[in-house]
Amino acid sequence: MNRSSSGINIVPILIVAVVCIGGGLLISTLTPTLFPVQASSQAQQIDTLFQLMLAIGGGLFLLVQGLIYYAAFRFRVKDENDRSDGPPIHGNNTLEIVWTAIPAVVVVILVIYSYSVWVSIETPQQNETTVEVVGRRFAWTFTYTAEDIIDPQTNAPVRFNDPNLYTYVNEALRLQMTATDVNHAFWVPQMRIKQDLLVGRITEMRFTPILSTDTNGDGIYEMAEAFPLRCAELCGDGHGAMGLVSHVYVFGSREEYDNWFAQRVNLVLNPPEDPVARGAQILPTYPCSGCHVLTSLGWTGQSGPNLNGIGDRASRRVAGDSAEEYIVHSIRHPLRYLVPGYAGIMPQFIEDDPSNANYMSDADLIAITAYLCTQTASGDSACDISTIEEAAAEEVTTSGMASQ
C-alpha cells in the first residue's frame, strides 16, 4: 500500500479522481446528442461553455453521489442494540479550506469564461441586417425593410411583413423586438438564444445562422425542415400554440435569399390586379395564423374561430350584415361580435396609423375580404368586389354587443 507521510491512503483517492474526471468528461461528451442541431455561431460557443460546465458538474455529481452512497452503506449500523457513537470529530481546517477554495476557483473560471462567451455573442457585427419583430397574442410578425427601394405610394423604403423569419447562412442578423399586448419571448432552440419581447420597450438580439434549413438539398424550403420559433414567456391561453406557428427559414445562399426578397418587394410594388389573388398573397403576412384555422393557407391556430368556409357563414352571423360587411367589421372592430365560445382577444386592425403594428390599409382589407369571401364549400365568392369597397368605407363602432 502506498501511504503518504500523513497516513492518507493515496490509491482510493486516485481511483475516485479518475472515475469522477473520466465520468465528467463522458457526461460532457454524450449530453450534446440530446441537443437540437447547432444552427448558429452562437450555438457553437454556448455548447462549448455548457460542455465545460457539464464536465465539472458531472464530475462533482459523481463525487458527491459516490460519497453519499459509499458512506450510507459503508458506515451503516444494522444492530438496533448498538448504542455506540461515531468518533467525536468536529471538523478539519485543511479540508474546510480546500472545499471552500476549490469551488471558489471553479466559479471564478466559469465567470471569466462565461463573460468571454457573452462578449463574443453580444458584440454587434459589421453589416448587420435588422429585422423588426412584433409579438402579440398569439403570433409573430417580422417586418423587413428594403432600404434602397422606394415605394412610390408611401415615398419611403419598401416594407413588408411575414409571420416567419427568413435569413441566410452567415447573415449577421439583428432583431429589434417589441410586444403589443403582453410579454413574449423569442426562442429558437437550434440557435440557443432567447430574448424577451417587452411591452413598451424595444429589445434586441443577435445571431448568425450557420446551417441552412434545406436539409435534403432539394432547393425547396419546407416548413417541416425549418427551425420552429418557440414563445418562451407565458402569454396566456394560446402560449403553447404560439410556439408552433412561426418558423425560421435559413436559405443556403445569399442569392436564394435575394430572390425571395425581390419577389416580396415586387409584391408590394406591383400587387396583382385581382383582389382575390392579392388577398391570398397578403393574408399570410398578417399574424392571423396564430389563432385561426384556415386549411387553404395551412393555418392551425386554436384560440380563435375556424375560418374554413367563412364565406358561407359570414352573412348569417349578425342580423343586417352582409358577408362582406361582417368580415370587414370583424377585422376593423373584432369585439363588435364575438363568435360564441371565444374570448375577445383579437387585436383591432386600424387604418389610420401606418407605424402601428396593427395597421392594415383599406386596400389590404378589401383584398383580404375578397379572398375570405371565396372560402366557401362551392368555391364561389360570397361577395361582390364593389360592395366590399362600400363595406370598407362604412363607419361602424364596436357596439354594446361586445364585452370581454
Partner 1 sequence: MASVVSLPVGELRKSDGKPIMLRDVLGWSVDHKVIGVQYALIALFFFIIGGSLAMLIRWELLTPALDLMANGAAYNTLFSIHGTVMIFLWVIPMSAAFGNYVVPLQLGAKDMAFPWLNAFAFWLIPPAGVLMLMGWFVGPAEAGWTSYPPLSTMFSPDGQTLWAISIHLLGLSSILGAINFIVTIANMRPEGMGWFQMPLFCWAILATSIIIVMATPFLAGGLTLLILDRVAGTAFFNPAEGGDVLLWQNVFWFYSHPAVYIMVLPAFGILSDVLSVHARKPIFGYRMIALSSIAIAVVGFTVWAHHMFTALAPQFRIPFMITSMIIAVPTGIKVFSWLGTIWGGKIRWTSAMLFGLGFLSMFVIGGISGVMLGSVPFDLHVHDTYFVVSHLHFVLYGGSVFGLYAGIYHWYPKVTGRMLDERMGKWHFALTYIGFFFTFFPMHMAGLAGMPRRIAVYAPEFQTWNVVISIASFVLGVSTFVLLYNMVWALRNGKVAGPNPWRALTLEWATSSPPPATNFVGDPVPFKDPYGYGTKEAAAYVEAVEARYGTPDDVAQSSKPAPAETAGD
Q: Segment 341-400, which members bind partner 1 (CB under 8 A)?
A: none
Nearer Cβ to partner 1 (51/361)? 51
Give the C-alpha distances (Å, rounded to integers) separating 398 from 153, 176, 306, 335: 30, 33, 22, 6
Stretch 25-44: interaction string toward partner 1, x if CB under 8 A: ------x--xxx-----x--
Strands 299-300 and 227-231 turn out to be unpaired
What's the closest the beta carbon of residue 323 comes to partner 1, in angstroms? 28
Stretch 113-142: interaction string toward partner 1, x if CB under 8 A: -xx-xx--xx--------------x-----
Helix (H) or strand (E) holding 294, with range, is: strand 293-294
What's the closest the beta carbon of residue 306 comes to partner 1, in angstroms? 15
86 binds partner 1 (CB under 8 A): yes
Q: Which of 276, 284, 244 is nearest to 161 (CA)?
A: 284
Assign residue 130 a region (left: φ > 0; alpha: ψ between -120 and 50; beta: otherwise).
beta
2 binds partner 1 (CB under 8 A): no
What's the closest the beta carbon of residue 70 comes to partner 1, in angstroms? 9
What's the closest the beta carbon of residue 234 comes to partner 1, in angstroms? 5
Among 12-20, 59-67, 149-157, 310-318, the segment contacting partner 1 (CB under 8 A): 59-67
96 binds partner 1 (CB under 8 A): yes
What's the closest the beta carbon of residue 356 comes to partner 1, in angstroms? 13
**In sequence order, which residues have a C-beta less than 8 Å from that of residue 73 and are 6 or more positions away?**
none
- Sign of dihedral through CA atoms 14, 17, 21, 24? positive
- Sign of dihedral through CA atoms 233, 235, 237, 242? negative
- Sign of dihedral through CA atoms 86, 90, 95, 100? positive
Nearer Cβ to partner 1 (159/194)? 194
Cα–Cα dist 301/289, whole Å: 6
Scanning residues 299 to 338, which ones bind partner 1 (CB under 8 A)? 302-303
Out of 90, 152, 155, 353, point to the residue binding partner 1 (CB under 8 A).
90
Q: Which of 218, 211, 204 is nearest to 189 (CA)?
A: 211
77 binds partner 1 (CB under 8 A): yes
Stretch 216-235: interaction string toward partner 1, x if CB under 8 A: ------------x-xxxxxx
**298 within 8 A of 288, measured Cβ to Cβ:** no
111 binds partner 1 (CB under 8 A): yes
Q: Which three cell numbers stand for residue 260?
A: 425571395
Helix ranges (H only) for 184-322 are 239-242, 254-269, 275-282, 310-317
Scanning residues 257 to 296, which ones bind partner 1 (CB under 8 A)? none
What's the closest the beta carbon of residue 125 comes to partner 1, in angstroms? 15
95 binds partner 1 (CB under 8 A): yes
Among 85-93, 269-277, 317-325, 374-382, the segment contacting partner 1 (CB under 8 A): 85-93
- Sign of dihedral through CA atoms 77, 80, 83, 89? positive
Scanning residues 165 to 204, which ones bind partner 1 (CB under 8 A)? 181-183, 185, 187, 189-190, 192-196, 198-201, 203
